[in-house]
Every structure is written in C-alpha cells, then in structure tokens.
Amino acid sequence: MSAKDAELQVTSTQDEVPVKPLSKFTRIYRSPLFNVIIVGLISFTQPGIWNALNNTGAGGQQEPYLVNGANSLTFGIMVFGCSFFSILANKFGLKIILILGTLGYAPYSASLYVNNRYGTEWFVLFGGATCGLAASALWASEGAIALGYADIKDRGKFTGIWLGLRELGQLIGSSIQLSLNVHKGKRGKVGYSTYLVLIALQCLGLPLAFLISPPQKVIHHDRRKIEDPTKNKAVLGEFRKWLKLLKRREFYLLIPILVGFNWNGTYQGIYLTKYFSVRARTLGALTSGIAATAANIIWGYVYDIRSVRRPTLAKVTWGFFSVIMLSLFAWQVANEKKYSEAVPKVTLDWDTPGFGRGFAVNVLFRFMNESHYMFVYWLLGAFFDDIETLTLAVGLLRSFESVGSCLSFGLGAVKMRPMINLIVAFVMFAITIPSTFAVTFLVPERPVDNREVVDSDGDSIDASKASKGVPVVAAADPANL
C-alpha cells in the first residue's frame, strides 16, 4: 500500500461518524407501519365516529335537515381549509397540523347530544364549524402520512390499514348504538346516551397524535432518510407549488370524481330516516362499517399486486366501478319509487317482509363509496412519490371532495322529494365516468419524486414523461405541468 493510499484510509476512518445502534423499540416506534397504525387509530376516533353517527341517518336525529345543514357548513369550510392546512403542513410540519385536527370533532358530537336531549339548534351549526376546521387539518395531514411514509410497494396496504382502522370507529360506534337502540322498532331518533360514549372515544384522538414521528425521523427498511420537509420552506413558495399541481393533467382530470362520486351519501341519510326504524338505521351503520372495512382490505391487497401493471389495474378497476355504480343507482331509483308511493307510509324494520331489498342497496353503496376513497388515494400514490407533493395533493383532493359534499349536504338540507336528490346524485356520478377513464391512461408504472424532476435552472418538468422514461425538457408553459 502506498503512503498516499494509507493517508487516504486514515483520513476516511477519522471522518467516519460512528452509527449508534438503534433499539428494537426505536425501530418499531419510528417505523412507517407504526405511524400509519397510529394515524388509523386517530382516524378511528375522529372521522370514524363521525361516520358512525352520519351512517345512522341524519346524525341519529329524527329529521335530516338541520344535520345536513351543519354537514354542508363543515364541508364548506373544508373546501378552502384542506388546501390551506396542507400548505401549512409543508411549512410547520405534519405532526403539528395533525394535532390541530383532533380538536374539533368532539364539539360536533356534543352538539348532537345537546340537540337530541334539549332541542338546541345553534350549537349544531357551531359544532359543524369546529368540525370543518379540524377535519381540514386532519385530512390534509393524515393522508400525507399514510401515503408518504409508505414505500411504493406498500401504498395499497398502508392506505387499507389507515382507512380500515377509520372504519373501526364506525364498527364500534354503531355497535354501541345498536345495543342501546335495539328495542326501537319504529321511526324516530337515537337515544341521547349513545352520544356520551362516542364523545368519550373522540377525546382519545389528541393524545394519540403526539405519538406520530415527523417524516425525517421515520426509519425505513432500506435505511433511506427523508429530508425534513419543512426545511427552508416559505408559505408563498408552497402556494405556488399548489397552483402548479392544480394545473397538472394528473390532478385536474380527477376533479369530477372528487366532486361527484359521493353525492349518494347525502341521499342515503335521507333514505334511512324516511323509510327505516331506529334499530334498522343503527344496524345499517354497523353493516356499512363492515362493508367499508371489507373494501379497505380487498383493495389494499389488490392495489399492491405486482403481477399486474399499475396502468392496467387502474383501467380495469374504474371499469368495474362504473358498471357496479350504475347498477346500484338503477336499483335505488326502483326502491325510492316503491317506498315513496306506498300507502300507508313505509317503516322498514328487520322483521318486515322485503326488508332485505331496501337494506342491501344501502350497504353496497357504502362498499363502493369506500372503494372510491381507496381508488383516488391509490392514484395519488401512483402519480407522486415525495411527501411534499403528496401533502399538497391530498389537501387538494380533500378540498374538491369537500366541494361535492358541501353541495350535496346543502341540497339535502332543503326539504324536497328524496327522488330529486337521488337523481341529482345519479347524474353527478355519470359525469365522473369519462374524465376518470382519461386519468387511468396517465397512470405510470412507478411514481415520480418531484424534487428530483427539475432542470438545471430549477424549473419543474413534466413528471408524467419522466415516470415513463421519456426524455424531459423544461416546461416553459405552466399549463403543461
């Protein structure tokens, strides 16, 4: 060995920093899987319990109009709030925004309790506002954690774990409701003691949020490190990135499905309150949670299948969704016509003849609505790799979903014939079909890290080309981004 080589070896040895061995506890606590489980448990205590109440029909109330108005207010705030908090998350950190997201759901549930017991209405609208602010922060952060912390090969599974644990909230909440209302075989409202248990569960979200690790501290199996996403970030700069993301084909073609897919959810709440007994409604909430959990498990597995190319899987999945949803709408229109014209008025209970016909379609709609959530989140994970872009994309996704929910719940707050509400939901879904098929033709085999797809001048480049191995050039026109 030459003197020069020996000198280089000594220098290299001196420069090496000894790596401190990590304990098993640290490796588990900082792992992507642990973090997505915690995010799922937070989702269980917050939107999971919210879903349990709403899937009972009108938040468990006898009439749907006040609760639909409050829900419209919630989603109206989320239209702007989700994107706003996603920008703040890239500046101040996902954990801080997640903590803020656990503070507003319990007041909403408390308002339903006060309204149920004492008839107070203003508190329900106030609770809808606090829920809107909290949901904006929660959805902007937890979706980014579930997708961004996962390796590409695990994103279907991790999304399934996150959304599946959210449905655990509905399963537990609706089981409690069913046990407390099992003898109410007539139409009416859910007993007020139901809300006390659910409010207690929602209060667990805040301490759980403190267990989340920031992205730069997460330990991956391949030992790769994520740079602190908040480092050297400016709010105005993140806003510009948000605008560029909105102009990308991969995103703006998703807008119709984000706005139009879930309009049937408002109708389902009206449907349950109009035609089902209290205990049948609580059974509906329970079985809807089971259906949604099944959707999370099934699609979480399907989306991580390696033997099928992602572009092919996207096209086949959306074709399946389109056929099933159109069939369900046709079935529901037939049910609505039958029940609305019945004399005397229909009150379906589980011991009523023909109960299965009216009940099953509600459960199947819930399965498909949850399948839709899995699909759009999987698409984002298929398009984008870096957590900064995913955070902004999830915020945008929730903003446009909130536009649809705000308008649909607003329509549900108006006293009109349920058939009109159903037909509007039918039309809104039909509008989503062509543009979503167009999106499936853009799905790459592997997502792109947008931090790396830049030219020497720092300008953004068409990531869809880079993901397919096509030579890229700087995009002069922002509309091409």
Q: pLDDT, tens digit, for every residue of 116-148?
A: 778 788 888 898 899 999 999 998 888 888 888
C-alpha to C-alpha distance for 236 and 281, rounded to whole angstroms? 47
Q: What percent of the chain has pLDDT over 90?
A: 25
Burial of 269 (0-12, 13-18, 19+ CB in 10 A): buried
Given this model, what pLDDT does residue 423 score?
93
Alpha helices in 384-417 (DSSP H): 387-412
Give the pLDDT mean for 222-251: 79
Tokens read off for 167: 């449905």
3 state SS for 398-454: HHHHHHHHHHHHHHHCCCCCHHHHHHHHHHHHHHHHHHHHHHHCCCCCCCECCCCCE
To which residue do tokens 């953004």 refer? Answer: 460
Tokens read off for 460: 């953004």
C-alpha to C-alpha distance for 109 and 67, rounded to whole angstroms? 11
Closest CA to 38 of 172, 212, 163, 296: 212
Given this model, what pLDDT does residue 65 score?
66
Question: Which residues 6+ apart lie within 8 Å of 57 measured at CB?
Answer: 64, 268, 269, 270, 271, 272, 273, 276, 281, 284
Given this model, what pLDDT does residue 343 score?
81
Does residue 276 contact residue 391 with C-beta atoms inside 8 Å? no
To which residue do tokens 């509905």 refer? Answer: 170
Q: Over 80: is that where the pLDDT of 428 sits?
A: yes
* Exposure on the CB side of residue 343, measured as CA atoms within 13 A: 0
Least confident of 54-58, 76-80, 92-96, 313-317: 54-58
* Exposure on the CB side of residue 395, measured as CA atoms within 13 A: 32
3-state secondary structure of 136: helix
- Report the amino acid identity of residue 145: I
Give the pLDDT mean for 26-37: 89
C-alpha to C-alpha distance for 365 and 268, rounded to whole angstroms? 9
Tokens read off for 84: 């706003």
pLDDT bracket for residue 228 (50, 70, 90): low
Closest CA to 278 of 192, 363, 407: 192
Q: Over 50: is that where the pLDDT of 459 sits?
A: no
* Exposure on the CB side of residue 85, measured as CA atoms within 13 A: 32
Element (H, E) at 168: helix 155-181
pLDDT bracket for residue 375 (50, 70, 90): very high
Q: Which residues pair with 454 in a beta bridge?
A: 460
Does residue 169 contact residue 117 with C-beta atoms inside 8 Å? no
Tokens read off for 231: 């480092």
Given this model, what pLDDT does residue 334 score?
93
Distance between the two ends of the chain, CA-based, in angstroms? 54
Domains in the chain with CATH codes? 24-442 (1.20.1250.20)
Given this model, what pLDDT does residue 28 score?
85
CA angle 88, 91, 95 (to 5 degrees): 75
Tokens read off for 434: 């062509």
C-alpha to C-alpha distance for 318 and 316, rounded to whole angstroms? 6
pLDDT bracket for residue 449 (50, 70, 90): low
pLDDT bracket for residue 376 (50, 70, 90): very high
Q: Over 70: is that where the pLDDT of 450 sits?
A: no
C-alpha to C-alpha distance for 96 and 93, rounded to whole angstroms? 6
pLDDT bracket for residue 382 (50, 70, 90): confident
Give the pLDDT mean for 76-104: 90
C-alpha to C-alpha distance for 30 and 53, rounded to whole angstroms? 33
Does residue 107 contact residue 415 with C-beta atoms inside 8 Å? no
Q: pLDDT tens digit string along 6-20?
A: 444 544 444 444 556
Given this model, what pLDDT does residue 13 score?
44
Q: Over 90: is that where the pLDDT of 47 sits?
A: no
What length is written for the chain? 481
Specify the higher pLDDT residue, 452 or 175.
175
To which residue do tokens 């899995």 refer? Answer: 374
Q: Over 70: is that where the pLDDT of 62 sits?
A: no
Question: Which residues 6+ apart lie within 8 Å of 7 measured at CB?
Answer: none
3-state secondary structure of 144: helix
Least confident of 264-268, 312-316, 390-394: 264-268
Q: Which residues pair with 348 in a beta bridge?
A: 276
* Global pTM exceeds 0.85: no
Give the pLDDT mean for 241-260: 90
Given this model, what pLDDT does residue 183 score?
63
DSSP tag of 213? P
